[in-house]
Chain A
Amino acid sequence: MPADSQAAPTFGKRLFVIDSELCVGCQCCMFACSRRFGEAGLAKSAIHVRSAGGVERGFVVIVCRGCEDPPCERVCPTDALQRRVNGGGVFLNMDKCIGCGNCVEACTIGAVFWDEEMHKPTICVHCGLCVGFCPYHVLELRQVQRGQQ
């Protein structure tokens, strides 16, 4: 973090992957994310963990980076994705979403997921519920400043 950013006003919270080398691949974060809606399973997870080409190579942890100029928002034909006021990234207005999947295609890092049961995207709201279910401190919810990536 640059020294001068101390003075910048905070901008809300965002989820960070601190060190994916600490990840053991248990996917408890994914299950936690799905429990947001009081459901079990994995259909609604907005975080994804997969091996980096075999578990012996460790894991890739994919979370929304909360872009300040989100490509997913730019390609939404119905304005169902709106920029969050705080923290970067977007929120999804389910009522407006037509399930076209443009946002999934547009996310360069693959952090917009697809709920096959609802035919709608799954968007991270940076609530941090997953953080509490990662005993290895791979994830963290941090205050961010505008302009920080």
Chain B
Amino acid sequence: MIEGDPLSSVLHIDLSRRRFCVVNREQLFENHIGGAGVAINLLKEECPKGANPLGPENPMVFAVGPLTGIFPIASKTVAMFKSPHTGNLGESHAGGRSAVAIRMAGYGAIVVKGASSTPVYLVIQRGGVEFRDASALWGMTSVTAGRAIREEEPSAGNRTIMRIGRAGEKIVSYSCVVTETYRHFGRLGLGAVFGSKKLKAIMIAGKRSLKVKDAIQYRKTYQEIFQSLIESLAMKKYHELGTAMNIHSLNELGALPTRNLEAARFELAEEISGERFAEKYLGRRIACAHCPVSCIHLATLREPYEHEKYFYKSRAICYDYEPIYAIGAMTGISSINRLLKLLEEIELLGLDAISAGVALAWATEAQLTGLIHESDTAGLRLAWGEHDTYARALRFLVEQPTDFYRALARGVDHASSIYGGEDFALAFGGNEMPGYHTGPAAYASYMTGMRHSHLDSAGYSLDQKSCLSGKMQSAEELADDLLSEESWRQILSSLVICYFGREIYSTKVVLSTLRLVGYEFASDDLLTIGKETLAAKHEFKKREGFDFKKLRIPKRVLEIASPTGQISADYISDIVDSYYSKI
């Protein structure tokens, strides 16, 4: 790295003692680049074995990379922590202004440990950390808390405000952290870790210059990357209709999980397609800091007040493929208007939209099949498409008035272990499934991916390839593909490059950008670091009790035909076994 680059500064914050210090970790960033590579090493150092995910000993690590603030779309922040949802590795990435703000404040990583006895929020700037009283913010929605801090604190335009809603305060194990109102550390329960530490929000701000090796070459390389980001067809889908365009294509394919995967096609999918959203509701598109793509799609929802004539409430609600799948198709909701109201509720409460949607879908089926009753649901009769009931159920999930909601607030794996219905509890490794019923590779990737996410190794795209070619690969070949994809993605997430730009940041481009920030790597070095990072994540999982042999395949996914045909449990298991034998 370049001498004097503030990237090597790691800010340590202790909430229990209300202190902070900065430690220079140049070697750490030299060896592991940044982002995921650095975060997993800091997590291993800071998190004691067997730590209680909701105890003060659980650290939260936020890391950015050497390209952040220097090249476009290196704009993600990688958060790592011990997950209260799965009990092992918690890893979640968010964009917004978070990464640029951390880099501009002069840090490569931030570690937050301890727990406050009273609600606080943190203000992190160049000079260090201020601990602010958050008693008045406790209980607020994520949106109101963000607004209050926005008005109270300086540096508009150069800051990120990460905050939780009520779900994090109430320790829902899949509560999220919201940043810049519309981006999220969505998965695996970072919000609950904030809540357990009585930490309502973190504001980070800064503005500084960063050096590069060769100014002329820098401008040239920058221009080339910028141009391909704007012009490339690979980015077009994110740019125009956004990820919501997948609703139509996955439904056509027969891969859109519907009503808790009772079907893989939603007969009303066109009503909630990306095209329909854009035509009727798209109000504004926005971007993360230092990304020209503007993939964030905001719908405008205008509603009259019932008791006041000519008074309207207009607000902006973001949408993407995954929330539409989880809150729309999975619950059988086919009206955009109603779907948006539920998405708004989820945003205000600060829940992970995927897990929340899958939880509602499981609960609906559990009630319809008589596993749970109105005494469990606090009087609600959950039914497909009943959005008002779902809105109330979401609030109950957070406030937890009954044992049933207390159980469901820990996910469908946990709830089904008490109430039954494991066969249709759609979670893998404890994490609720994303919206791709494409075939065995997708399911294998939910089981092998270190985050149990479709983003880990994109198994869904391998399924789509085998659909197109009509040829099924062997389990071993698929395992190899998943492993090499996931390894390469460790490099991207160590550089904190958004995966949407993965086709632009080829190995060659990555190496040339790295050279300009003082990293002399060859492509083999990258492969090695990618594998090491992945192995380190796996080690951490194993250390915290993860055992791939205990992974469960819910029967439901085997009953419903996928685009690749009926899915065989043995075939998935073969892929999974082969993957773990190689890692």
Interface residues of A in 99-139 (CB under 8 A from B): 116-117, 133, 135-136
**Residue A12 at the chain B interface, CB threshold 8 Å:** no
List chain A residues, Cβ under 8 A from B290. 26-28, 31
Chain B min CB distance to A66 (Å):
22
Q: A48-B157, A54-B146, A56-B315 are in contact. Are A133 and B226 (CB under 8 A)?
A: yes
A43 contacts the other chain (Cβ, under 8 Å)?
yes
User: Known contacts A39-B212, A40-B209, A56-B316: does B156 contact A25 (CB below 8 Å)?
Assistant: no
- Check if B211 sits within 8 Å of A40, measured CB to CB: yes
User: With a CB–CB cut-off of 8 A, which chain A residues contact B212?
Assistant: 38-40
Q: Report the separation of the CA atoms of residues A79 and B182 in the bound assembly, to the nearest whole angstrom.
A: 46
**Interface residues of chain A: helix, strand, loop or mixed (majority):** loop
Please tell me if the beta carbons of B157 and A55 are within 8 angstroms of each other in the complex: no
- Min CB distance B277 to A, Å, is 16
In the assembled complex, which residues on chain A have CB atoms less than 8 Å from the CB atom of B309? none
| Cβ contacts under 8 Å, B316 to chain A | 56
A44 vs B215: C-alpha distance when bound (angstroms): 15
A35 to B290: give the CA distance in the assembly, Å. 13
Known: A38-B219, A40-B69. A55 touches B211 (CB 8 A): no
Is A39 a contact partner of B209 (Cβ separation < 8 A)? yes
Given A28-B72, A51-B157, A53-B150: A44 touches B180 (CB 8 Å cut-off): no
Q: Are B157 and A41 in contact (CB under 8 A)?
A: no
Over the window 73-111 of chain B, the binary record of Cβ atoms lying under 8 Å from chain A Cβ atoms (1 yes, 0 no) is 000000000000000000000000000100110000000
Pick from B181, B219, B289, B291 the residue with the most CB of A within 10 Å. B289
Q: Is A145 an interface residue when CB atoms closer than 8 A count as contact?
A: no
* 0/1 string, B404-446, CB within 8 A of A gives 1: 0000000000000000000000000000000000000000000
Contacts of B315 in A (CB 8 A): 56
In the complex, the answer to whether B289 meets A26 with C-beta atoms within 8 Å is yes
CA distance A41 to B6 in the complex (A): 12
Residues of A within 8 A of B219 (CB): 35, 38
Most chain-A Cβ atoms within 10 A of its Cβ — which of B287, B298, B316? B287
Q: Mark A17-59, 1 if CB is under 8 A from B, else 0.
A: 0000000111110010011011111111100111101111010
Residues of B in contact, count (CB < 8 Å): 43
Whole-angstrom CA separation of A41 from B5 in the bound complex: 12
Q: What is the chain B residue whose CB lies nearest that of A113?
A: B207
**Beta-carbon nearest neighbor of B151 in chain A:** A53
Report yes or no: A56 in contact with B298, Cβ–Cβ below 8 A.
yes
User: Does A42 contact B146, Cβ atoms closer than 8 Å?
Assistant: no
Kindly supply a per-residue 1/0 record for chain B positions 490-526, scoring 1 wherever the CB is within 8 Å of any chain A CB and 0 otherwise: 0000000000000000000000000000000000000
Residues of chain A within 8 A of B555, CB atoms compared: none
B294, A51: Cβ atoms closer than 8 Å: no
A21, B464: Cα distance in complex, Å: 39
Is B158's beta carbon under 8 Å from chain A?
Answer: yes
Query: Are B156's CB and A39's CB within 8 A?
Result: no
Q: Which residue of A lies closest to B317 (CB)?
A: A56
Mark each residue of chain B from 228 to 247: 1 if its CB lies under 8 Å from any CB of chain A, else 0.
00100000000000000000
B134-169 interface code vs A (CB 8 A; 1 in, 0 out)? 000000000000110010000011100000000000
Residues of chain B with a CB closer than 8 A to A39's CB: 209-212, 215
As a 0/1 sequence over residues 204 to 222 of chain B, the CB contacts with chain A under 8 angstroms (1 = contact) are 0001111110011011001
Report Cα–Cα, A82/B289, bound state, in Å. 33
Is the pair A28, B210 in contact by a Cβ cutoff of 8 Å?
A: no
Residues of B within 8 A of A24 (CB): 285-287, 292, 294
Question: For the complex, what is the distance from the CA of A56 to the CA of B181, rounded to whole Å?
Answer: 8
Interface centre among A27, A42, A49, A136 (most CB of B within 10 A): A42
Known: A26-B289, A50-B156. A135 touches B209 (CB 8 A): no
* In the assembled complex, B25 has its CB within 8 A of some CB on chain A: no
Known: A40-B69, A117-B209. A55 touches B182 (CB 8 A): yes
Q: CA A57 – CA B290 in complex, angstroms?
A: 19
What are 17 A-to-B residue pairs whose CB atoms are below 8 Å? A24-B292, A25-B289, A27-B100, A28-B290, A28-B292, A31-B290, A39-B210, A40-B70, A50-B156, A50-B158, A54-B146, A55-B181, A56-B182, A56-B315, A58-B284, A117-B209, A136-B294
A residues sitting closer than 8 Å to B (CB atoms) are 24-28, 31, 34-35, 37-45, 48-51, 53-56, 58, 116-117, 133, 135-136
Q: Known pairs A24-B286, A31-B69, A39-B215. 17 more at Cβ < 8 A?
A: A26-B292, A26-B293, A28-B291, A37-B209, A38-B215, A39-B211, A40-B69, A40-B70, A40-B210, A42-B104, A50-B158, A51-B156, A54-B147, A54-B150, A55-B181, A55-B286, A56-B284
